[in-house]
A and B are shown apart, each in its own frame.
Chain A
Amino acid sequence: MSAVEIPAEKWPGAVREVTLGSSYGGGTRASTVTVGGETTLPFLAFEGSIPHRPALAMEVVDMRPEDWSPELQDAWGDLLDDAAGWAAQAVELGADLIALKLRSCHPDQGDRSCEDAVKTVDRVLAAVSVPLIVYGPGTADKDNEVLVAVAERTKGEQLALGLCEEKNYRTIVAAALGNGHLVIAQTPIDVNLAKQLNILISDMGLPLERVLMDPNTGALGYGLEYTYSVMERLRMASLMGDSMTQQPMVCGVGEEAWRQKEGRAATDVPEAWGALAERGVAWEVSTATTLLEAGADVLVLRHPGSLAVMREALDDLTKGA
């Protein structure tokens, strides 16, 4: 018998490197985060280069999210009323990034002004030295107003602005372009739609080194396998050299995992589900791990326990056998 040879696959393409945060030209970040740059499939370091490990972002909301799972409310306690303190604690616990959601600007959630939103972003920027993702309130008109105001007033910080979707990309991309920021391009679980939005954004003149893409995930048990396969296909296309699929991928893991019944229900569920304290983290961690295997470069999490588990997982994934 001839000895087995270990096959190493070489790919012609690579994922683009994207840097969040800046420490010059208006940027005040002491640390920046670079993701992407892979020349092979996730964590297969034996056959390609993986220059940056995926980054872990912690989601922080600018108002107490009363509708969040009781497990998350317990975990963060009074910090839920103080976005800056919450962000600082998340960084203390090891978050590489903060994903700040400007929810209080939503017409149904207080309809606070753009001026208030800018103040909140300033407070969080002052409280932490890591880069920020800033999400609008999640309604098209207000997203545009708020994100443009924030972009203009934080010029040079290299924030990642989201969400940038087909319906509003012109406004968000223009705001990013003129003020030295990044965008998070989100499309609904589809390879071609993701590609198409990247083309539209690129056509407006925003360098693709300033675009992250969010293929829009479902949670474990709630459509996760669709995202998993779409991400695997996107990553393979990028390694094959398809330029418009080469953006690093961001996944909103926490939001999806914690809004499902498994992340919320403390009572009236089968015993086999386990207790909510364990189950919520289990749901977030398993969703996160699955998406890492498919090529996620940034995971946005909600629970401090999940952050600790995923940090350890990434340590283990980025060292040898």
Chain B
Amino acid sequence: MAPTGLEIYKLLPKTNCKECGFPTCLAFAMKLAQKGTELDKCPYVSDEAKTALDAASAPPIKLVTIGAGERAFAIGNEVAMFRHEKTFYHQPGLVARVKSDDPALAEVAARAGGYEVERVGMTLRLDGLAVEHAGGDAAAYAAAVAAARAAAPGLPLVLMSADAAAIDAALAGGVAADKPLVHAATAANWQAMAEVAKKHGCPLAVRVEGGDVVALAELSDQVHGAGVEDIVLDAGTSTLAGDLAAFTQLRRLALKKGARALGFPIFSLSAAPTWQAELVRATQAVAKYAGVVVLDHLEPAELYALLTLRQNIYTDPQKPIQVEPGLYEIGAVTADSPLLITTNFSLTYFSVSGEVEGAGVPSYLLVADSDGQSVLTGWAAGKFDAEKIAKTVKDSGVEQKINHKKLVIPGHVAGLSGETEEELPGWQIMVGPRDAVDIPSYLKTVWSA
């Protein structure tokens, strides 16, 4: 938790020397608390105070980067329990797990690295590959990691083994430069694991069993004390209720109690026997606080759903999501199909296109660029007026695609119909329903091309 002005003041020299540019130490402290100035401006601050203040003003959940290069991903640094309070910033990495003795290891790695899907103009991909040590000695594990790395070049790795020597061997084989996440330091092996992670400069997961958050804090503290800066927390839970309780407690302790030992991203081993159960578990993890989500199934439908969910949950609730303005064809359109217009606020677009699709009447839907505002707010802000409607129609090239000149405008802007007819000579402007839900009956009854 960020320190208050008074907490900072207690650590200052309290001489009111003014050399920082402020009239008193208290005024300087208050400005520091608002992040309006730098501590360095005080020439007399003690090293002790500096260390304390640096620690106290660090983010409550540390930003940890996993991997190196273009596909590296950063997790943590979240500041809210709920996305309506403050955006969730660093979306969790989705990681596919493969066993080191799996004969299909290279194929699985290549599939994980190559999976990608488009959604609202963005390319969504998996973030990493976890190689779990299953059978074989340290050298065999290192060879498996090297093979996985070769099959999915650039894909960040998670090295999973209880054996620090195996992790060390894998890292020493050239993988260390990729900054993989090491999983995991436990009560039994933490000294050796911390040593290896420190030596290779890799982030380290700490793991306890059964959601014991108190033990997790102790272990994290020990590993941190041994010199590991980048930590990821695995509470070792195995049920949905267990995951939710542990992840909620960890997030609360970091954000609300300033528990430094727990101020790190959360590792969710979301794997389950079936892809359906795994999807449920991973869905919860994405919504509720995980930083790394590990999956066993490479079922495309599951991955597509999870990547879409992650995109939904991690959008900024203050900023409307926009869809690309332009002409959309819904269903098997012909030159006689109806033409409707709406705005590019995503929810508006989804409501309208959903109802048009549901109506079963193939239609052209024109989406005007209203800066992501809904029909009424766009109209009120002058972003969706007769001029914009006319421009959208002309720029879209729809006139070459249809053999009529009828345009349906939203019922909420019925008042624009006259003006729009002036802007679009020769067109008939029809007033559609106010609510998207009434579009199907409108298309079936009122519309006739």
Chain A interfacial positions (CB closer than 8 Å to B)? 1, 3-7, 9, 43-46, 67, 108, 139, 189, 218, 220-226, 228-229, 232-233, 236, 259-262, 270-275, 278-279, 281-283, 285-286, 289-290, 293-294, 305, 309-310, 312-313, 316-321
A225 to chain B: closest residue by CB: B312
B residues less than 8 Å from A320 (CB atoms): 239, 241-242
B residues less than 8 Å from A321 (CB atoms): 210-211, 237-239, 241-242, 245-246
Q: Does B117 contact A (CB under 8 A)?
A: yes
B241 with A274: CB separation less than 8 A:
no
A225 to B87, CA, bound (A): 12
A144 to B299, CA, bound (A): 45
| Top-3 shortest CB links A-B | A321-B242, A274-B301, A274-B300
A317 with B116: CB separation less than 8 A:
no
Q: How far is the CB of A194 from chain B (nearest CB, A)?
A: 15
- Across chains A and B, the number of contacting residue pairs, with CB separation under 8 Å, is 183
A4-B346 contact, Cβ under 8 Å, with A221-B119, A313-B280: no
A279-B280 contact, Cβ under 8 Å, with A225-B315, A272-B115: no
B residues less than 8 Å from A9 (CB atoms): 252
The secondary structure that dominates the B interface is helix
- Report the contact-size class of chain B (Cβ under 8 Å from the partner): 35 or more
A1 to B237, CA, bound (A): 25
9 residue pairs from A and B, CB less than 8 Å apart: A5-B257, A6-B253, A223-B346, A225-B313, A228-B287, A232-B84, A274-B302, A274-B304, A321-B237
B276 with A7: CB separation less than 8 A:
no
Q: How far is the CB of A208 from chain B (nearest CB, A)?
A: 24
B214 to chain A: closest residue by CB: A4
A67 to B275, CA, bound (A): 28
A residues less than 8 Å from B21 (CB atoms): none
Q: How far is the CB of A176 from chain B (nearest CB, A)?
A: 22
B residues less than 8 Å from A223 (CB atoms): 346-347, 350-351
Q: In the complex, which of the residues A43, A224, A286 contacts B279, with contact meaning CB atoms closer than 8 Å?
A: A286
Q: How far is the CB of B423 from chain A (nearest CB, A)?
A: 31
A9 to B249, CA, bound (A): 10
A residues less than 8 Å from B299 (CB atoms): 274, 278, 282
A44 with B248: CB separation less than 8 A:
yes
A290 to B221, CA, bound (A): 33
B117 with A44: CB separation less than 8 A:
no
A317 with B309: CB separation less than 8 A:
no
Q: How far is the CB of A5 from chain B (nearest CB, A)?
A: 8
A221 to B283, CA, bound (A): 13
B160-196 CB contact bits vs A (8 Å, 1 = yes)?
0000000000000000000000000000000000000
